[in-house]
Amino acid sequence: MSTFRIAIVGAGPAGYFAAQALQNSQTDQLTFSIDMIEKLPTPWGLVRSGVAPDHPKIKTVSKVFEKIATTESFKLFCNVELGKDITLEELETNYDAVVIASGSSRGRKLGIPGEDLRGSFSAAEFVPWYNAHPDFVDVDIDLSCDTAVVIGAGNVAMDVARMLALEPSELDPTDTAEHALERLHSSSIRKVHICGRRGPEHAAFTSPELRELPKLEHTDVHIDQHQIQAAKDRAEAEGEVPKDVKSNLDTMLAISDAEKKNHARSMYFHFLSTPLEIRGNSKVEEVIFGINEVKDGKVVPTSETFSIKCGLVVSAIGYEAEEIAGLKYEGGRVLNIDGRVTGKHIYVVGWAKRGPSGVIGTNKSDSSDVVKLLIEDLKAPKNGADLGDILSKRGVVHISQANWELINQAEVAAGEPHGKPRVKFTDRKRMLGFAG
């Protein structure tokens, strides 16, 4: 029987699904010993620090992760940073294969004047801020203005806009970060504008996200009915409309037609709108947009513009991978062919492989496909050094699965008196204390 040692870098969905695919591929002749490395003190990646707090059902996938993690021959090494505590070269030396599942955590830039003004943020800062990511606790989100602009037309943009537009009491029973909840309760924002460069038929929102909008109890949602109908006509003129596009457009039409209740809070959708400039004297005061049109199926600019006065801008136009020394990158992701990194026993899964696309479940099939290639490439097992021994000699304190379970229990216990699923800890020393 051959036992191969595999290192997985990143404890998010892609990493766990890669571990699951390895576990499911075991036979009487082939087994795997899996070490999962994560730089944060806590696992689960975007399920913990990316999924909106008012979407608790999506987070139940963590139960699958816990089942994978408590399987024999799986070890969790949280609080261990690649490039600082251990190098990629050392992992290559000591493991039969290395799987990079580190995701994409850096927000793409708009590349327009005024983007660096105070009050302009990327969703890559804003989302982890309200999700209690320990590295984003001190991001200074000023909510003292009455209007916010969210740039982007995907589910991340929708999450950001919804978090800003809903009545904060709706977040009280969630695991929203305590510091963010306090700031949201004192927020002056009453109008949130979502602006996308392309037409409604090209929006990357998913229908379930759109269908949730009419359920907001204290917020009116405004969508231009004529703009949606025009998009529907364009789509139908091109032939059979894809099922997901038709569902999106039908949902948007229903929202545009729904009765508005004159709530103090409102959300506005603007399609075919390209941000040209953010203006302000030392801080955000206004965003200038160019108006686009669709010609022969292509989005082209017109000479017309409009502006929105605001005090907060959050761009959600995609993510790029944080670069790891020893790997080549292209287009914000690790350079790879179907998940293989050429010339090395290194593989890449999830967003680090394909860019920020798909939903959590997409990572399951993606990781499974890459693991098949990994297994095809295996030769004779190496006799590498133990990661725990290496870290111990360097004085690196790692958080194991057992340690994480103590942190998890403490967070859940802290949330119970307040009717919350948990109160997330953000202080690393406090986490290490609870981890024993």
Q: What is the pLDDT of residues 173-226, one digit of tens each?
A: 999 999 999 999 999 999 999 999 999 999 999 888 999 999 999 999 999 999
Superfamily of domain 2-105+320-399 in the CATH hierarchy: NAD(P)-binding Rossmann-like Domain (3.40.50.720)
Chain segment 298-343, per-residue pLDDT in tens: 999 999 999 999 999 999 999 999 999 999 999 999 999 999 998 8
pLDDT of residue 358: 79
Question: What is d(CA 417, CA 306) in angstroms, rounded to the nearest whole number?
Answer: 48
Pairing verdict, β 340-341 and 346-348: antiparallel
pLDDT of residue 346: 97
Query: Which regions of the chain carry the CATH code 3.50.50.60?
Result: 109-317
Query: Which regions of the chain carry the CATH code 3.40.50.720?
Result: 2-105+320-399
| Of 138, 110, 78, the residue nearest 197 (C-alpha) | 110
Question: What is d(CA 339, CA 348) in angstroms, rounded to the nearest whole number?
Answer: 5
pLDDT of residue 179: 97
pLDDT of residue 390: 97
pLDDT of residue 136: 97
Pairing verdict, β 147-151 and 312-315: parallel
Q: Beginning with the edge strand found earlier in the chain, give each strand of the sheet holding 97-100 in spatial order.
A: 74-78, 30-38, 2-9, 97-100, 346-348, 340-341
pLDDT of residue 213: 94
Q: Which residues of the chain have pLDDT under 70?
A: none
CATH of domain 109-317: 3.50.50.60
pLDDT of residue 395: 95
pLDDT of residue 1: 81
